[in-house]
Chains A and B, each alone.
Chain A
């Protein structure tokens, strides 16, 4: 895209966040995911749409970690599910290595699925309770014929478990015999089993307590460097995002409102929603917390069934002018690598 941004990214990255290449791995263009609301028992007819994701554009470079933040229900997870093809997007393109994932048939999809994996939020429901840990991790290796030999597969499972900080003996245990942090490590090991290039971390550490969170984040960072992974890191925990991500995108009501380098976004948020979101992060010092000025945005998040016309944020926006009610703002590059969907900044 532009060199200054890539330069900034790699400078910082070489120190803390691994190598980011200039090559784009995945490009999302105009992604829309509308869930129809139907009525009628025998002949269902559509009465409305839930516009969970309504026109999202971004790209991720190889080796990069893109943070996706926003409040509950803004479409972060749905975006991730579309990339995984767990949902069929209503419109838009998802280009992975130049191929549009949305157009692939089931056979072609399997090849892409080997490269794109997911780590889920809830470690309690993301593992099949009736399968042993070894089977959970080994199943894809067996089904896709990656390691058909039983003994070699066990060895590989043991290695993956060990790499994720678990004893290889856990292969013979069931998920209910493990703690949340251990289960999340199994989830990570399963995602790694097929040697993917790209992992979507869907709130991967939100369900864990803080000390375990830190361990899992460190593990994710190590794995990123070791296996040259690219992450889409979906989270609502801004401190975690700031720690792990190269760039951060902010979503609001199915739209992307801002996208910039991590430090740029946290230090100079431009969109009024991003500003309010960052401002809502508490300072872990009661004295400082008391004295600082809060900017609280008014009102509630509107319904995605009937979003406001024009800029979706205008009913709650402190900067809103008349034109915001009519015109949908372009997602424009205000500074190099800093994209904002607002006409007033």
Chain B
């Protein structure tokens, strides 16, 4: 028998522990994740270039200089010019707008749609879960680029259709990962507590389950950023994406394929831009995963 009577009934009001300042967290992070911070730097540089393109770019990306077509890197044209005499540096800087627009819109829309579908699928379970998962299976059966190609072939080229084509294969990927996490969370008592308190299904999904699958969601989101940029470049390269004369890195590579033997700079710099941005997003995504994954956190 517990000798309850001898114990003080009113617990002492306990002291509240002080909070860690966020600057300290930021310093700790850059020490623990140097590659991630490097990746973040590339991403931030890209965002600045895109935002300030009008100020940073030396020329109008559409302006054609017929007196200096396919001229190599020089003082006038830092990275050379293409077959119409357009400045490659300016086109790269403006092209980052296309890349970032497609990257962010596709990654955010795709992973968010996947997040809601995945959590709802896990929460409701039963027939709804079964049907939804089989439909997602159909989408996942196609290789990413083939599915995107099929969508663009159906809807026609153009930046909106390219984004739809990239978002579609992202949704099932994210939904699958989020669902498996949400299935575990579904069984945790605070979800039962929320049901016992009489909250609506939508509230339980959005307020109680979604915030707790943020880790896999953010990991998928950052992975998709790089993938989306690469996919957009691939589709543009195949002539199914953004159309000339809008500056886009994949498109610049396509046009360069005819001239790169004599003027390698027309192919190299857009290629470097694509690689570097995907590299940056992936490094950033990797360290986001390291930070958010509790299994890897205790280092």
Give me the interface of A with B, judged by CB distance under 8 Å: 42, 44, 81, 84, 86, 109-110, 113-114, 116-118, 120-122, 125-131, 139-140, 143-144, 165-167, 169-170, 173, 177, 179, 181-182, 185, 187, 190, 194, 210-211, 213-215, 217-219, 222, 239-240, 242-243
Q: Within 8 Å of chain A (Cβ to Cβ): is B2?
A: yes
Q: Check B8–A143 contact: CB distance below 8 A.
A: no
B28-36, B148-156, B170-178, B191-199 - the one binding chain A: B191-199
The residue in chain B whose Cβ has the minimal distance to the Cβ of A182 is B14
Q: Check B7–A118 contact: CB distance below 8 A.
A: no
Q: How far is the CB of A137 from chain B (nearest CB, A)?
A: 10
The residue in chain B whose Cβ has the minimal distance to the Cβ of A130 is B211
Task: Return chain A residues, CB-CB under 8 Å to B194.
Answer: 128
A126 touches which one: B4, B7, B190, B211 (CB < 8 A)? Answer: B190
Task: Return chain B residues, CB-CB under 8 Å to A239.
Answer: 1-2
Q: Check B197–A243 contact: CB distance below 8 A.
A: no
Q: Check B17–A128 contact: CB distance below 8 A.
A: no
A-B contact pairs, 23 of them (CB 8 A): A44-B130, A81-B192, A86-B192, A86-B196, A114-B198, A120-B189, A121-B189, A128-B190, A129-B212, A130-B212, A139-B199, A139-B207, A140-B197, A143-B198, A165-B11, A167-B14, A167-B16, A170-B16, A173-B16, A215-B8, A215-B11, A242-B1, A243-B1
Q: How far is the CB of B144 from chain A (nearest CB, A)?
A: 25
Given A214-B3, A217-B4, verify A120-B13 contact (CB < 8 Å).
no
Given A219-B9, A222-B9, verify A109-B196 contact (CB < 8 Å).
no
Q: How far is the CB of A34 from chain B (nearest CB, A)?
A: 16
* Bound-state Cα–Cα, A182 to B17, Å: 13
The residue in chain B whose Cβ has the minimal distance to the Cβ of A200 is B196
Tally the A-B contacts, defined by beta carbons under 8 Å: 103
Q: Within 8 Å of chain A (Cβ to Cβ): is B203?
A: yes
The residue in chain B whose Cβ has the minimal distance to the Cβ of A194 is B197
Q: Range of interface residues on chain B? A: 20 to 34
* Bound-state Cα–Cα, A144 to B199, Å: 8
* Bound-state Cα–Cα, A190 to B7, Å: 24
Q: Within 8 Å of chain A (Cβ to Cβ): is B10?
A: yes
* Bound-state Cα–Cα, A185 to B207, Å: 22
Given A125-B188, A243-B2, verify A109-B198 contact (CB < 8 Å).
yes
* Bound-state Cα–Cα, A86 to B187, Å: 11
A-facing mask of B205-238, CB < 8 A → 1, else 0? 0011001101000000000000000000000000
A113 touches which one: B7, B134, B196 (CB < 8 A)? Answer: B196
Q: How far is the CB of B115 from chain A (nearest CB, A)?
A: 14
Task: Return chain B residues, CB-CB under 8 Å to A217.
Answer: 2, 4
B189 touches which one: A126, A170, A210 (CB < 8 A)? Answer: A126
The residue in chain A whose Cβ has the minimal distance to the Cβ of B194 is A128
